[in-house]
Amino acid sequence: MSLGADLLRRLYGEPPERFTAARDEAVAEARARGDAAGAKEIAALRKPVIAAWLVNLLAIRRPELLADLAALAGEMRTAQRELRGAELRELSAQRRRVVASLVAEARVLAGAAGVPTGKLPLNEVEDTLNAALSDEEIAGSVRSGRLLRPVSYAGFGEVPRPRLRLITEDAGPAADEDAERPAARGRGSRTAAGRRSGQEGTGPEDDAGPGDDTGPHGEADPGAAGHRIAGRRTAGRRAAGQQPGAGLGADAAEPGAAGNRAAGVETHAADRRAAGDGTARRAGARKAEAARTAEADARRALERAERDALRDRERAESDLAAAEDAERSAVAAVSDLSERIAALQAERNEADHEVSRRKMARKTAERAASAARRRHGDAAAALEASAGSATEPFVEPAAPFADGGRRKAAARRGRTDRGGPAKAESGA
């Protein structure tokens, strides 16, 4: 059976440290459904490394960006195949921008998944995306969202280097020059041959045949010699003058020599023109080579500057991400402290309220105690008053009172220790 796309997206969208637990949970769910084959297939899924997981995040969460990358790869392959240098340079700059934006998006997605972004292997992500641009099979693995390892590409599938264009353009002038030289020679040869054919039909020597260079007396025929070698004009004339009884053949030799001289002059002029054209082409090729070299040097300098700027940007973005993580940690700490402070404030308010309640209770108790003391004093005074107005004699208890008690008893009886009996007797 084949696993569902949703399950694969869910598993390979998990950070690597949570992949195994999520896979085991999916295996348990499949077994609970009675799907033993599915459980076995899920258990066979391998955990990706973090760089591959970042690329999988792009395929799962931002597939439209990878579609743009695939379209760019197709345009670059077409321009490479058709050797469109200006378009290749523009597409190369666009490639760098697209890959940089994808790497930045992968870092953002990792942060959203709760993974610290300070030490992510973004260089391996960039290498994998560049490899996907150069190789269609790698691109398919990237778009699947199930990549297990980062990929790098060592081939040459991007923009053609200047040397490819130099080979093509340098071969052109040389081929043109080589083609023109045989053509010029061919024109001279065809002219000489035509003139030779016209002369050979005017004399009785025609019976000798086209391959026979001798006249009727076995001596060299100056027309035939001039036909073969256009530059031997003097030798042709001398040979024609020594031929005895040449007749019409001797008369025809002089016009043949003139034709040969014209053919030689034309061939020589064509050779000179071809040589001049070749020199001009070589000079133009050298100038074009120098211009291309200067352009390549300038482009390399710009690419180095762009790489440096990109490296600085990545470093700054990494520092920014670390600062954002630190800020979030500080905000979380402040929030935690604020919650603790709020809890302590609530406890303090409760304690203050309790203190207020107890203070009120103490004051209430104090008032109650004061009232009780007053009531006790009133009761004691009333008791003493009632004891002082009694008529029956006071019987002193057997046990002696303390001094204070004795004084109180004497006060109640209306007498004191000193002079009490005298007053009693006087009364009697």
pLDDT in tens, 311-346: 777 677 767 877 776 787 777 777 778 788 888 888
Q: What is the pLDDT of residue 118?
A: 87
Residue 117 and residue 185 in one domain: no
Task: Give domain status of residue 118, yes or no.
Answer: yes
Ranges of the chain whose pLDDT falls below 50: 156, 158-255, 401, 416-418, 420-428
Q: Give the count of beta carbons closer than 10 Å to the beta carbon of residue 412.
A: 16
Domain boundary among 281, 310, 339: 310
Side-chain-side CA neighbours of 108 within 13 Å: the count stands at 9
Domain boundary among 288, 310, 332: 310
CB 48 within 8 A of CB 16: yes
Residue 156 and residue 167 in one domain: no
Residue 227 and residue 184 in one domain: yes
Q: What is the pLDDT of residue 298?
A: 75
Phi, psi of 379 (to 5 degrees): -65, -40
Query: Which pair of tokens denotes residue 236?
Result: 């042709």
Q: What is the pLDDT of residue 31?
A: 94
Residue 100 and residue 184 in one domain: no
Q: What is the pLDDT of residue 398?
A: 53
Side-chain-side CA neighbours of 262 within 13 Å: the count stands at 13
Burial annotation 255-289 (CB, 10 A radius, 16+ → b, else e): ebbebbbebbebbeebeeebeeebeebeeebeeee
Domain boundary among 278, 310, 342: 310
Q: Residue 311, SS3?
A: helix
Of the chain, the end-to-end C-alpha distance in Å amounts to 137
Q: What is the CA radius of gyration of the chain?
A: 61
Residue 125 and residue 65 in one domain: yes
Residue 178 and residue 280 in one domain: yes
Instruction: Write out pLDDT tens, residues 97-136.
Output: 999 999 999 999 999 999 998 889 999 999 999 999 988 8
Closest to 417 measured CA to CA, from 397, 427, 408: 408
Residue 152 and residue 241 in one domain: no
Closest to 85 measured CA to CA, from 156, 171, 165, 172: 165
The DSSP output letter for 405 is H
Residue 61 and residue 72 in one domain: yes
**Cα–Cα–Cα angle for 295, 301, 305, rounded to 5 degrees:** 145
Residue 247 and residue 197 in one domain: yes
Task: Give domain status of residue 16, yes or no.
Answer: no
Q: Which residues pair with 131 in a beta bridge?
A: none
Residue 59 and residue 125 in one domain: yes
Task: Give domain status of residue 346, yes or no.
Answer: no
Query: Which pair of tokens denotes residue 155?
Result: 């081939």
Q: How many domains does the chain have?
A: 2
Residue 120 and residue 170 in one domain: no
What element of type H or E holds 126? helix 122-134
Q: List Cα–Cα distances, 128 to 56, 134, 137, 303, 336, in angstroms.
A: 11, 10, 12, 20, 42
Name the burial class of residue 388, with classes exposed (0-12), middle (13-18) and buried (19+) by CB atoms within 10 angstroms of its CB: exposed
Task: Give domain status of residue 128, yes or no.
Answer: yes
Task: Give domain status of residue 278, yes or no.
Answer: yes
Task: Give domain status of residue 296, yes or no.
Answer: yes
Residue located via tokens 């603790």? 340
Residue 171 and residue 148 in one domain: no
Q: Residue 33, SS3?
A: coil
Task: Give domain status of residue 302, yes or no.
Answer: yes
Task: Give domain status of residue 17, yes or no.
Answer: no
The residue range of the domain holding 124 is 48-160
Length of the chain: 428
